[in-house]
Structure 1
Amino acid sequence: MPDQAKLTQGSTLKHVVVMSFTNALGLMCMFLVDLVDMLFLSLLDEKEALAAVGYASTVMFFTISISIAVSVAATALVARAIGEGRIEEAKQRAVSVLVFGVLFSTAIVALLWPNVPMILSFIGASGHSLSLASGYLHILVLGMPAVMVAMISSGIMRALGDARRAMYATLIGGIINAVLDPIFIFSLGLGVEGAALASLIARLSMVLVSYYGVVYVHNMLGKFHISHFCRDIRPICVIALPTMLTNMSSPLGNAIVMEHSSTFGDDAVAAMAIIGRIIPVVFGGLFALSGAVGPILGQNYGAGHFDRMHRTIGSAVFYAFGYCLVLCTVLYLAQDWLVAIFHATKGTADLIHFFATYASFSFFFQSLLFIGIAVFNNLGKPFNGTLLNFGRAILGTWPLIIIFGWFMGAEGVLLGQAVGSVIFGCLGFFLGRRYIHTLEKKETRDLRVGNNRAYDDPLL
């Protein structure tokens, strides 16, 4: 059990780097296995297999985004309580979010499973690709409750500042997946369905590792009480539901891109599927940034340390720029190798080259958006993050990829996405910084008149 809010002390840059790096290692390991899936499936010499996994992964991104949203609620609520010194309250909130997550994810599976072929058809899958994608997704979607528990447990540990142990679940799950992939795909001859089975078993293993950290290492689960659960549903929903919409806007944008790419043929779809696997592996450190900044902001807001909150935002930008500078250079230098290992056709290879050469640095601006969304999600205004991300997914994607695609073909789809990221990244960061200044002024004003922040806190 924590005896202090460790993120309220020490260097903010160190906290950002450590929290981001450890979270990124876990995420990149998980996504690296997805990339290995694509590599193994490319060896089957079946172009439809790559396209099928691309279609199915677009849907799986929705389910993973839902799990991440509930874990954000766990991180925000537990971190705030820890920062305020209310340990028992933090434990009650932790168990409430876990129960909420299991119930909600089970309901999603019951709704999604029978409608898999219809959903895949809607985003452009057809023929043999539809058949393969349906088999893949029918297996993988059954693991959603396991992913939910693992994500929430990792979010609780991040709220405590234990990013290293939070990393272990995805790291071990990724290793298990990588070991089982060639066995199921080739040795047992299961192909695409074998890749799905390997991923399902790996996700079940993640539950054991993450749950052990929360229960036996930190002793951070209180006893379940229905009255506490009913009380906590409101603050959970205040964060989780808007964050869920925020996270689903990214796969919505990806679905829009995948559907529009399908008009350029299977080569374009296969390229987008490969790029979709490359992005989380290369830029996992940026996707981890929001989860790293959130608990730091939450603990320091609970403790009333606004100076550290401002420094945290600056540290996050510094980290993101350095990360992009290094990784975009590596991606540029490795583009021919990526084309070779995926046995890409000329049309697919052209898109991979275009992404690595021109579009990749737009992820720095996406990181600015992630920082702004982390501010809103963890400081009581998650709906603002929802509007920003939906704005990027729709206004920053749909019209731009249509316009650029009209003039440049499939390459214009990638360029349109990049331009939208620049616009909404700058906007999101500006609004996030302004919101912290607003909270600071309100806190100062309330202290002068003797008001208690908790009376009008939307998270309580």
Structure 2
Amino acid sequence: MANKNIELMRGNPETAVRKLAIPVMISMLLTASYNIIDGIWITGLGEAAIAGIGFVTPIFMILNGVSVGLGSGATSSISRFVGAHDKNRASDSAAHSIIILFITSIILTLIFLVIQEPLLRIYGASGTALEEALSYSTPLFLGLIGIMFANGASGILRGEGDMKRAMYAVVVSVILNAILDPIFIYTFGLGAAGAAIATVLSSLISAIVILYWLLVKKDTYVDINLRKFKFNSKITKNILKVGIPASLDMFIMSIAVALYLIFITIISGDYGVAAYTSGQRIYLFAIMPLTAIGTAVVAVCGSAFGAENGDYLSRAHKYGAKFGILFGLAVTIIVVLFATPIASIFAYTPETSHLVSGIALFLQFAFLSIPLTGAGMASSFLYQGIGRGVTSLFFTIFREVICTVILTYLFGIVLEWGLIGIWIGLAVGRSIASIVNYIYGRHTIKQIRTKLGT
């Protein structure tokens, strides 16, 4: 299996991006269903529990972003060594990734167990909601090592092009979570704590499966032997220079969302926030396939860069952008045409039916940026693939904080276009940033090809 994956990564870049992207798309859609299943079971716990878990969610998203980011660092580093036909350093990179994940998970566990209560109070949790939040967050943070490894170690498999087994690990986690949630929440009567324990156990078992493939079965391209581990500062730097900036992406996004919510609250209060929150759920679900394409671009571009093949690097980036634009265009057409029925799914009760028009307007305007976002995301993942994680982080800041925040404020507040101005600002800001990102990506590839003479 591993040899076929390596051959695929070193072969036709268009075929590689397409074939590697599909299992990642399935994984991400399954991950989305994971959150939906959690939400369904948690709803039965009552308002205080829902609110308490809601306060923990942004913290968990940031921690989850760290694990995914470190996984991206592993993918980038390993794929470059695969392209360079350097199996020993690819294996060393995989071993270093495991050690980094272990150390990071221990440090974050200790930190967040200490600061969780004051942090939750800062977020606004109090009374029964705070008790429920702590009931949920404590087992979640205690089991952080399983969550970190489930996400991060998948990056090792992706680094050698083994997207299918990375997908299988997600399938295991989703199925287990669906089974364990009602058992721990209701049968054992653990409530919010039960939801967290179900998440931790399902993630831990998924992580064990991945580590079994890597450390016991040893049928992967990389050959990891932790007993012979020797620290290498260059390999560590190689992983972290992508992993750390990628880990900060979610933090930057949370800052941007906070600013959008301030603008929306000024304009329309709770109505606007509710419309944005519901529409944003659909938006995040819709861009998952674009993220999957980008994940494939990381591995293929990393391999091409390691092999010093400028032609393959260029073709992988171009095809990833084209694939993203076409996929994004199809999604946008469907959502814009069926905006009202889709919005009705998230506002189906008599008490929330008045939100349908607001959510539909969000979908009809904000979604117009998705096709160009496909090109921009392919470029951001290109930078990760060639080891320029800071450049990728810069374009996240440029897209969400600079372009989009400025334009949402301009259209929504200054020009007084109201909520439609905010939705237009989201679309225009992200579109402009994506175009600039793609142009800079092509410029970067041109520089690399000139340097390589290919």
Distance 1:314 1:234, change over 3 A: closer
1:13 matched to 2:14: yes
CA–CA distance in structure 2, aligned partners of residues 178 and 342 of structure 1? 25
Q: Aligned letter for 1:202?
A: S
- Taking a change above 3 Å as real, the CA distance of residues 262 and 102 of structure 1, as seen in their structure-2 partners, is farther
Kept in 2, the 8 Å contact 1:97–1:236? The answer is yes
Change (3 A) 1:397 1:194: farther
Match of 2:224 in 1: 222
Distance in 2, matches of 1:288 and 1:317, equals 12
1:263-412 matches, within 5 Å, as 269=273, 271-332=275-336, 333=338, 334-340=341-347, 345-346=352-353, 348-406=355-413, 407=416, 412=421
> 1:69–1:240: 8 Å Cα contact kept in structure 2?
yes
1:65 offset after TM fit, Å?
1.3
Distance 2:430 2:377 in 1: 11
In percent, how many aligned pairs have the same letter? 24
For 1:251, the equivalent position in structure 2 comes to: 254
User: Using a 3 Å threshold, how does the CA distance of structure 1 residues 221 and 168 change in structure 2: closer, same or farther?
Assistant: same
On the 8 A contact 2:38/2:181 being kept in 1, the answer is yes
1:50 shift after superposition = 5.1
Q: Is the contact made by 1:8 and 1:303 (CA closer than 8 Å) also made in structure 2?
A: no
Report deviation, 1:7. Answer: 3.7
Instruction: Call closer, same or farther: CA 1:89–1:139 in 2, change over 3 Å.
Output: same
Q: Give SS of 1:227's match.
A: coil
Shift of 1:274: 4.2
- Residues 58 and 222 of structure 1: CA distance in aligned 2, closer, same or farther (over 3 Å): same
1:236–1:26: structure 2 CA closer, same or farther, 3 Å change rule?
Answer: same
CA distance in 2, matches of 1:189, 1:351: 38
Aligned to 1:457: none
Stretch of structure 1 that moved more, 293-302 or 392-401:
392-401
Answer yes or no: is the 8 Å Cα contact 1:74–1:156 preserved in 2: yes
Which stretch of structure 1 is more off in the superposition, 303-312 or 120-129? 120-129
Corresponding residue SS for 1:228: coil
Q: CA deviation at 1:130?
A: 5.1
Equivalent residue, structure 2, for 1:203:
203
CA distance in 2, matches of 1:152, 1:133: 26
Aligned residues: 444
Instruction: Classify the secondary structure of the residue corresponding to 1:220.
Output: coil
Residue-by-residue CA offset, 1:257-301 (whole Å, 9 max, x unaligned): 456656665565555554454344333211222211011001112
Q: Secondary structure at the match of 2:453?
A: helix
Q: Distance in 2 between matches of 1:398 and 1:116?
A: 29
Partner of residue 421 from structure 1, selected from 417, 420, 430: 430
Q: Tell me the residue number matched to 2:77.
A: 77
What is the RMSD of the two structures over their aligned residues, measured on CA atoms? 3.1
Contact 1:184/1:197, CA 8 A, preserved across alignment: yes
Aligned partners of 2:186 and 2:148: how far apart in 1?
29
d(CA) in 1 for partners of 2:53 and 2:423? 20
Change (3 A) 1:155 1:359: same
C-alpha separation between the residues in 1 aligned to 2:417 and 2:189? 40
- Mapped to 2, the partners of 1:325 and 1:123 lie a distance apart of 37
Displacement of 1:71: 1.0
Taking structure 1 as reference, are residues 119 and 440 closer, same or farther at Cα in structure 2, changes over 3 Å only? same
Q: Give the match for residue 242 of structure 1.
A: 245
C-alpha separation in 2, matches of 1:271 and 1:42: 20
Secondary structure of the residue aligned to 1:361 is helix
Cα 1:196–1:26 change in 2 (3 A) is same
Shift of 1:95: 0.5
- Any idea what the Cα deviations from partners look like across 1:59-95, whole Å, max 9, x if unmatched? 2221111112211111111111111111111111100
